[in-house]
């Protein structure tokens, strides 16, 4: 008899397993190639469905999950549970799923079932109808707990289109109706997951060319790993913003990088098609370490600081402490202020520095649009006649003397002002590394002082905010990063003050 165990709103049901099947493969020579059949029965599938408070994995939460572990022939284990989303369920969601606030009030919270879900899915391929939806919600729940959930996965929508062609709709309800699959408790996790089990079994029966195994999505396809690195190390990398360090055999740092998704960025170093330098780096890697930052701004600031301090061998371009391109200002004979992209050296004082000529040109084009500057005067087009923007009313004619230098120069001065840090003294807040924390960046007298982290409950007292700051070096790269960030910062994330703070 199978043994059932119940705990509150959670049901875990184990099925008696027969002796494990030995992997039996049938090799058939056809069309000049050997084809392999029979491997499907050696793979475990975690067929699942979730219900949620909405459709956004970043802002909504899971309210129910059902997982059926399948060995390729039958269900061998199952896990079903309501989940307390720790927020109200919108009425329209309750009408759709039948799950309301009273039903989840005493249900376990996600962290209370997280270990069970890991165990149920470990070593299995996750299968779901519209898998990206379910997978993204589960990954986000784990991300909020500081854990990276990574599994191979299959989408039965995509597989059905390939193996069961000709249907008008591939939604679970419509497809099951056409195929004669009964769904009990539609829009509940267990009902939809069991229907997906039956659908998947039909797909297995119709898979004559190994399409199911070919369709498995994972992070390691098309990758070539360094010969001296343990893949289990890569599984532990977080899918969160931060800075990562690639080490050689003696632990020295070869490369420092940053990303909004550390794991994804590290894996990108191992793609098959790479140049000589990338291959040299890949073959030298023996270890990977990382620092989570909570948001991209802190990752950018930390990366810049670390590269300039550590001078890693493979960060040649970013090791510089000055930039070779920027935007400079000059005055024409007619008295017009002229902004233009230019190559600069360490002794120059450009209005702004840029990492490349393309970046300088792009920034100047943005200034032209925002402040209605003349693209001819800005050196973007080398022409003798009026610029094209004048013909369409986006330039007031400074290029042909129709606008006075005084009027034009006022807008140029506004553009120049926008390139500077708008406030000399401020704290800039962002997302922290964990729930209940926020990042804090400090700029004083226009100079970057450093960053740190504080509890969200920390008030606006300047001394309290100052106390969490770790002092770091300022440079042109940092100024460029902060300037670009401030262009997209909401007022609520900025604390401006007048009095100078003292660091001891």
Do the bridges between strand 426-431 and strand 437-444 make them parallel or antiparallel, or are there none, so unpaired?
antiparallel
Is 187 part of the annotated catalytic residue set? yes
Strand partners, 27: 36
SS3 376: coil
Q: Which two tokens stand for residue 125?
A: 């391929």
Backbone angle region of 166, left / alpha / beta, with phi > 0 → left and psi within -120 to 50 → alpha = left
Give the residue from 231, 288, 217 showing the smallest Cα distance to 257.
Answer: 288
Residue 167 has phi, psi (to 5 degrees) of: -90, 145
What are the residues whose beta carbons fall under 8 Å from the beta carbon of 214, sequence distance 6 or more? none
Q: Yes or no: say if 378 and 394 are a contact pair by the CB < 8 Å rule.
A: no
Alpha helix stretches (DSSP H) within 180-317: 189-206, 211-214, 231-235, 262-268, 276-284, 296-310
User: From the CA atom positions of the chain, what is the Rg in Å?
Assistant: 29
- Give the whole-angstrom CA distance, residue 308 versus residue 245: 14
Q: Which of 187, 247, 269, 442 is catalytic?
A: 187
- Give the whole-angstrom CA distance, residue 310 versus residue 53: 46
Q: Yes or no: say if 232 and 218 are a contact pair by the CB < 8 Å rule.
A: no
Residue 358 has phi, psi (to 5 degrees) of: -65, -40
SS3 39: helix
Question: Among all residues, which ones are annotated catalytic?
Answer: 187
């Amino acid at each position: 008899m199978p043994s059932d165990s119940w705990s509150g709103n959670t049901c875990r049901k184990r099925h008696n397993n027969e002796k494990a099947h030995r992997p039996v493969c049938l090799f058939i020579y056809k069309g000049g190639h050997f084809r392999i059949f029979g491997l499907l029965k050696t793979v475990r599938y975690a067929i699942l469905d979730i219900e949620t408070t909405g459709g956004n994995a970043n802002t909504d939460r899971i309210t129910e999950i059902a997982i059926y572990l399948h060995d390729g022939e039958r269900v061998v284990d199952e896990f079903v549970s309501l989940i307390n989303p720790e927020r109200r369920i919108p009425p329209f969601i309750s009408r759709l799923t039948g799950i309301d606030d009273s039903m989840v009030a005493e249900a376990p919270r996600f962290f209370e079932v997280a270990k069970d879900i890991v165990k149920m899915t470990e070593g299995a391929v996750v299968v779901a109808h519209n898998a990206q939806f379910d997978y993204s919600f589960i990954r986000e729940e784990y991300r909020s707990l500081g854990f990276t959930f990574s599994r191979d996965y299959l989408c039965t929508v995509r597989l059905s289109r390939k193996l069961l062609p000709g249907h008008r709709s591939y939604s679970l309800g419509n497809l099951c109706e056409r195929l004669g699959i009964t769904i009990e408790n539609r829009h509940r996790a267990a009902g939809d997951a069991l229907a997906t089990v039956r659908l998947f079994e039909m797909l297995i029966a119709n898979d004559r060319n190994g399409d199911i195994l070919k369709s498995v999505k994972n992070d390691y396809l098309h990758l070539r790993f360094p010969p001296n690195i343990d893949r289990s190390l890569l599984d532990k990398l977080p899918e969160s913003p931060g800075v990562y360090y690639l080490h050689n055999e003696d632990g020295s740092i070869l490369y420092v990088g940053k990303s909004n998704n550390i794991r994804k960025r590290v894996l990108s170093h191992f793609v098959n098609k790479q140049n000589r330098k990338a291959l040299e780096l890949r073959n030298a890697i023996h270890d990977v370490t990382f620092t989570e930052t909570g948001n991209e701004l802190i990752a950018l600031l930390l990366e810049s600081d670390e590269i300039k301090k550590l001078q890693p061998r493979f960060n040649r371009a970013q090791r510089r402490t000055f930039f070779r391109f920027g935007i400079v200002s000059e005055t024409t004979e007619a008295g017009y202020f002229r902004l233009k992209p230019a190559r600069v050296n360490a002794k120059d004082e450009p209005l702004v520095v840029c990492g490349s000529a393309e970046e300088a040109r792009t920034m100047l084009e943005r200034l032209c649009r925002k402040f209605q500057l003349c693209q001819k005067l800005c050196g973007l087009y080398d022409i003798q006649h009026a610029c094209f923007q004048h013909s369409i009313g986006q330039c007031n004619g400074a290029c042909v003397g129709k606008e006075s230098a005084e009027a034009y120069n006022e807008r140029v001065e506004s553009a120049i002002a926008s390139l500077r840090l708008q406030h000399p003294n401020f704290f800039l807040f962002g997302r922290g590394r964990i729930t209940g924390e926020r990042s804090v960046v400090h700029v004083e007298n226009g100079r970057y002082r450093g960053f740190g982290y504080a509890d969200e409950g920390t008030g606006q007292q300047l001394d309290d905010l100052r106390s969490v700051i770790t002092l770091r070096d300022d440079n042109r790269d940092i100024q460029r990063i902060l300037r670009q960030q401030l262009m997209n910062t909401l007022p609520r994330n900025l604390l401006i003050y007048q009095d100078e703070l003292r660091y001891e």
